[in-house]
């Protein structure tokens, strides 16, 4: 919110801003500081954006909530977002056309650092409690879909540990 209590202002920028920010921050600060900076900036933007989306979402059923969230992102050019719940403790948001991965760059690592923070901030504000988000699939890595797992900090930490151990996503979710 701005200082007068109104909803935050929104602006449109070219999708290339994500790749440019990643590249320039990495040159100046290194990879890990870049990840942290973009995630933190995304988180703050997500908490601010929650005020735009919050009106009426607390009374919606799950299907309508996820449809409203998908509409929010689609109208702002982020891409088509789909929700599914493969596990009681972890949900997945996925997109075949997610904007942050749409700058044409190819990298062996996931790259949607801002989006991960944005989703965490947005969902945390709307849930009125912490929601952790982990990018588990990325088009920048050459995959067909960007996928973001979300849930409690403990569930996402456990999922991340299993993925680091080399377990695939389905196996990691089944083991939770």
Residue 90 and residue 149 in contact, taking contact as beta carbons nearer than 8 Å: yes
Distance CA 41, CA 112 (A): 12
Q: Residue 131: helix, strand or coil by DSSP?
A: coil
Cross-strand pairs, 94: 82, 147
Q: Is the pLDDT of residue 98 over 90?
A: yes
CB count in 10 Å sphere of residue 19: 19
At residue 116, the pLDDT reads 97
- Please provide the CATH number assigned to the domain covering 16-175: 3.30.1380.20
pLDDT digits (tens, 9 = 90+) for 120-154: 999 999 999 999 999 999 998 888 999 999 999 99
Distance CA 57, CA 46 (A): 15
Distance CA 164, CA 172 (A): 10
Q: Where are the domains of the chain?
A: 16-175
**Closest-CA residue to 159 (of 85, 149, 117):** 149
Distance CA 21, CA 151 (A): 27
pTM metric for this prediction: 0.91
Tokens at 160, concatenated: 């991340």
At residue 10, the pLDDT reads 86
pLDDT digits (tens, 9 = 90+) for 5-14: 577 788 888 8
pLDDT band per the 50, 70, 90 thresholds, residue 93: very high
pLDDT band per the 50, 70, 90 thresholds, residue 1: very low
């Amino acid at each position: 919110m701005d200082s007068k209590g109104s909803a935050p202002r929104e602006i449109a920028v070219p999708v290339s801003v994500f790749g440019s920010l990643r590249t320039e921050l990495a040159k100046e600060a290194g990879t890990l500081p870049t990840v942290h900076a973009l995630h933190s900036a995304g988180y703050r933007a997500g908490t601010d954006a929650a005020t735009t989306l919050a009106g009426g979402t607390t009374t919606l059923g799950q299907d309508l909530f996820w449809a409203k969230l998908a509409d929010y992102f689609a109208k702002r050019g982020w891409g088509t977002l789909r929700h599914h719940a493969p596990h009681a403790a972890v949900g997945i948001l996925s997109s075949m056309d997610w904007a942050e991965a749409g700058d044409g760059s190819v990298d062996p690592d996931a790259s949607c650092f801002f989006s991960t923070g944005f989703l965490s901030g947005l969902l945390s504000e709307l849930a009125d409690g912490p929601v952790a988000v982990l990018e588990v699939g990325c088009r920048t890595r050459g995959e067909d879909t960007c996928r973001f797992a979300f849930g409690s900090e403990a569930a996402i930490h456990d999922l991340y540990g299993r993925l680091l151990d080399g377990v695939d996503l389905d196996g990691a979710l089944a083991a939770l």
